[in-house]
Amino acid sequence: MTISRVHYDLTDLCNAGCPQCARTDPDGCKPKDWLARRVCSLGDFQRYSPPEFMSTLRSIFFCGNYGDPAVVPDLVPILQYCWACNPALAIKVYSNASIRPVSWWRDLAGAASGHSFRLIAAIDGASHETNRLYRVGTDFSRIMRNTEAFISEGGEAEWWMLVFRHNEHEVTTAEQMAGARGFVNFRSYPSNRFGGKPSFTYSHKGEEYVLMPPTITLAPKSATTHKIAVEDLARTEVVISCEARRASEAFIDFMGYLSPCCHVGRRIYMKDRGMFPQGDSWIGDAFDTFDTRRMNIDQVGFASARAAYDAFLNHLEAYWAHQTPHVCKVVCGKKQAVSAA
C-alpha cells in the first residue's frame, strides 16, 4: 500500500496531566509509572523516516498518543529536516501550547515560514478556571502569550476546544477570542473517552473533580471514523473499512514502530511496555499471531518494517469478517444492523 500521510508520536512526555489521557493516572493526574519516558531525537527521526520516504509523502502531523510534541528538544530541527527532504510537505503540530518561552514559538513560526504549516492548539475554555479543569497543569495566560507570539510572527494556528459540561458555556466566547487573536480556525467537539459512563471522576492535589459530557449537541472530532460505542459492541454488526487504508496513512512512534494508525500503535506501545494482556479481545490475538517486532525500525531496519506494515494490514483483514479486533470495529466499523438485545 502507498503511504502518503504519516502521524508521528515523538514522545511520551508531557507537561500536562489531562485526566482522560492514556498517559495519566486519574488518581492524582500524574504520569503512569510504566511509561518509557522517551523522546525522539533528530537522529532517531531520520532513521525512522529516511529522505527517500519523506520525499514521497503528501502530509504529516505530530500529535501524541502519550505526549506533547512541543516538549521534544529537536522538534524544530525535525521540521526543518522534513522540509529539506520535501519542501512541499504539509505539516501540522498538535500541542497544548503551555510550554516553552515565547521566543521558541517565534522561532517555530520562523522555521515554518514559506511552508504549509498549522499549529493546532488544544485550549479547552476561554479562561484559566475552565481550561485547567481538563488541561491539568497548563496555564491559560501562558498559552495566550505563546500563541500570540507564534501568530505575530506569521504562524497559522487553530484553536481546538474539547467540550465538557463545565466549559460548554464558554464555547461562543472562546470562538470569538480565537477570531480576535488571529487564529485561522476554531473547532469544538465533545470528549469520546467516557466509555459509555455518565461521568468521569479524577483527583488532583487532594481534590476530587467530576467531568461530565456536554448538554449541547456537537459534531464529533472525526467525521470519517465511526466510533462504535464500547457498550454497543456485542449487539452491533459492522463492516470494517480501514481508515489507514482509505487515507493511505501510517503511524510512527518514538519507539520506532511503524503501524497503521494511532489506535493500533497505542496498543503496540502498551504491549512493548508489558501492559497489554496476551489474548486481549481488543487486538491481542492479532498481536499474538503476528510478531509486532517486525514493524520496529530500530530492530529490523526501515525497509523490513515497511514491508511488515503491509503484511500486518493483510493480517488484520482476515479478522474483520469476524467482527474483530475490537479496536478496528470501534474506530472503523460502519454499522449494518442491530440485533435484538
Distance between CA atoms of residues 122 and 257, nearest Å? 26
Contact between 242 and 66 under an 8 Å Cβ cutoff? The reply is: no
Residue 287 domain flag: no
Higher-pLDDT residue of 277 and 106 is 106
Residue 311 lies in a domain: no
pLDDT tens, position by position, 51-72? 999 999 999 999 999 999 999 9
Q: What's the pLDDT at 234?
A: 80
Number of domains the chain is built from: 1
- Whether 102 is in a domain gets the answer yes
Q: Is residue 138 part of a domain?
A: yes
Give residue 282's pLDDT band: very low, low, confident or very high (50, 70, 90).
Answer: confident
In a domain, 261, yes or no: no
Residue 79 structural domain: 5-221
Dihedral over alpha carbons 258, 263, 264, 270 (to 10 degrees): 100
- Cα torsion for 280, 286, 288, 290, to the nearest 10°? -160
User: For residue 81, what is the domain's CATH number?
Assistant: 3.20.20.70
Mean pLDDT computed over 115-139: 97
Q: At residue 91, does pLDDT exceed 80?
A: yes
233, 330 Cβ separation under 8 angstroms: yes
Q: Could you check whether the bond before residue 325 is cis, i.e. omega within 30 degrees of 0? A: yes
For residue 230, pLDDT over 50 is answered with yes
pLDDT in tens, 92-117: 999 999 999 999 999 999 999 999 99
- The pLDDT assigned to 175 comes to 98
Q: 77 in a domain, yes or no? A: yes
Pick from 87-91, 219-223, 251-255: least confident:
219-223
285 occurs within a structural domain: no
Q: Residue 61 is which amino acid?
A: F
Average pLDDT (165-186) is 98
Tell the residue number behind the cell numbers 523516516, with chain if given. Answer: 49
C-alpha–C-alpha distance, residues 6 and 251, integer Å: 6
Q: What are the pLDDT digits (tens) for 253-274?
A: 999 999 999 999 999 999 999 9
pLDDT digits (tens, 9 = 90+) for 195-222: 889 999 999 999 999 999 999 999 888 8
226 lies in some domain: no
